[in-house]
Amino acid sequence: MAEPLLQVDGLTCGYGEAVVLSDVSFTMAPGRSLALLGRNGTGKTTLIDTLVGVTRRHAGTVRLAGREIQSLPVHERAAAGIGWVPQERNIFKSLTVAENLSAVARPGPWTEARVFDLFPRLAERRKNLGNQLSGGEQQMLAFGRALVLNPRLLLLDEPLEGLAPIIVEELLRAIRRVAREEGLSSIVVEQHPQMVLGVTDDAIVLDRGGIALRATSEALLDDPTPLDAWLGVTAHH
C-alpha cells in the first residue's frame, strides 16, 4: 500500500471554544478525489478550513504525504502542498487575470497556459481586472490560481455555489479533468451530491460533528438511498 497523501486522525476542531467536528479520522490515497457532503452547518467548511489552518484545532493530527502539518501556519501549509479555493474566492480584484496567475505561480505541471487551456473564457479575459469578471469567471480564476501553485492536494469549498448552469457545467468538466484525468488529489465540498459524485472517486457525508457515511462515489450514484438518510431529498436533484 502506498502511503496516504492525506491522513486525518482524531481531529477535533472549531472556532474559538466552539467545537464543530469531533474525532474525525479518514485517509486519502494519492490521486484520489473526495466529495465532502452534508447538510448546511454540518462542518464541511470547518473541515476544509482546518486542513488549511484557519480554525482552532483542539485535538488530532493532520499528515500530508507523511508530514504532520496541523501546527503549521497557513502559508507553510500552502508551501507543503495545500491548494485552497475558498468560498470567498480571494482573487486580487485590482490585478488582471494573467497577473493574478503569475503572482502566485510555482514551478510544476500547471502553468498559466494550461489554466487558459482549461478555461478558454479566462484566456479571452486575460487582460481584464479581477473586478471586471463575472462571479463564474472569478470562480474559474480562483481555481486557476490554486492550480498554478501546483499543490499536492486541492481543496474546493462549494465551487459551484450560486453560479449559472452553463458555468457549473464548465467547472464540473474542469474538476473532472484535473481530479480524474490528471490525478490531482482533490476534496470538493458540495451541497448537491448528484453534481459532484460524477467527478469524484469517493464520498464522505458529515453529520452531527462527525463522519456519518463513507462510500465510493460510484456506489452512491448507483444507489443514492444511503444519502437520503443524511441529506433528505437533495440526493435525487
228 — pLDDT class (breaks 50, 70, 90): confident
- pTM of the complete model: 0.93
Per-residue pLDDT tens over the stretch 125-183:
999 999 999 999 999 999 999 999 999 999 999 999 999 999 999 999 999 999 988 99
How many angstroms separate the Cα of 5 from the Cα of each of 79, 116, 220, 224, 225? Answer: 15, 28, 23, 28, 30
Number of helical (H) and strand (E) elements in the chain, helices listed first: 10, 10
Q: What is the pLDDT of residue 232?
A: 74
CA distances from 157 to 34, 68, 202 (A): 12, 23, 16
Whether residue 214 has pLDDT greater than 70: yes
Phi and psi (nearest 5°) for 118? Answer: -70, -40
| Each residue's pLDDT tens digit, 93-110 | 999 999 999 999 999 999
